[in-house]
Structure 1
Amino acid sequence: MTSSVAQGRGSWRSHTWFGCSVALVLNGVLAVLSIVPLRTGWRFLSDFVFARLGWTTANPSDVDDGPFGSFLLTGLTTVPVLALFLLVNLLVAAALKTNRVTYWLIAVVVLPVPALVRPDLWSGFGWN
């Protein structure tokens, strides 16, 4: 008679707490990388989109070069971080035997947390 652990049902990878812990730690590390794309994306929206709608005031030093440079910087920082986020999470979610909805909910919620909690983190670069 084979045990349930040998068949894969009761292994440590199938516990919900383990999958949630892995999702939290892994995406907490990846979230640090998401600070730059979120900040550049906000600067683009704030200076070029929301300023034209009258919701924010554009920073004159950012607007001088036009929207293309800011849009390009936002794209060049967002695409690699999102690709890394998706690749790593798809591989880890497939390896774990946890609830996929819970795993992805934690992954998506944790991603913007450092940029929202510490908006002054990159203020040394002039991104206030």
Structure 2
Amino acid sequence: MTQKFLAATLLLFLYGCATTSNNTLAEGTNKAEKKISMSIGREIGNFKITNSQVTEAPAGYNGMQYTVKTEDGATFKCEILEPSGFGKVATWGMASGADAMCTDFTKGSSNVGKTNNANCNALLRAAGKC
């Protein structure tokens, strides 16, 4: 019984860490777009994600940073934390992701370097992101 439990736990952990298929990637991008839209105050379709990269995150989470360009010329860098496969297993599926934390990188903007603290929650504070 113990070996079966360990094997199942290992499979769940590896499943969460495995490369995702295109469908899952599209779902992840749509999820990121929704969070970014709320954070920067622009409708989906009024901005484009021009770059994404993995960032450092607390144990049990995966971090992604997105560079976002809006139709009106604004540029933002947004970070989103989501539970990893291990994080989901360790919390029995109760871990949740955070809203996007976006910082204004628009040249000449009066808000350059400011982060939207409205979306700062306990998870992001614990990660030292706001």
TM-score by length of 2: 0.27
Higher relative contact order (CA 8 A, sep 6+): 1
TM-score by length of 1: 0.27
* Larger CA Rg, structure 1 vs 2: 1
Report which of the two has the higher share of helix. Answer: 1
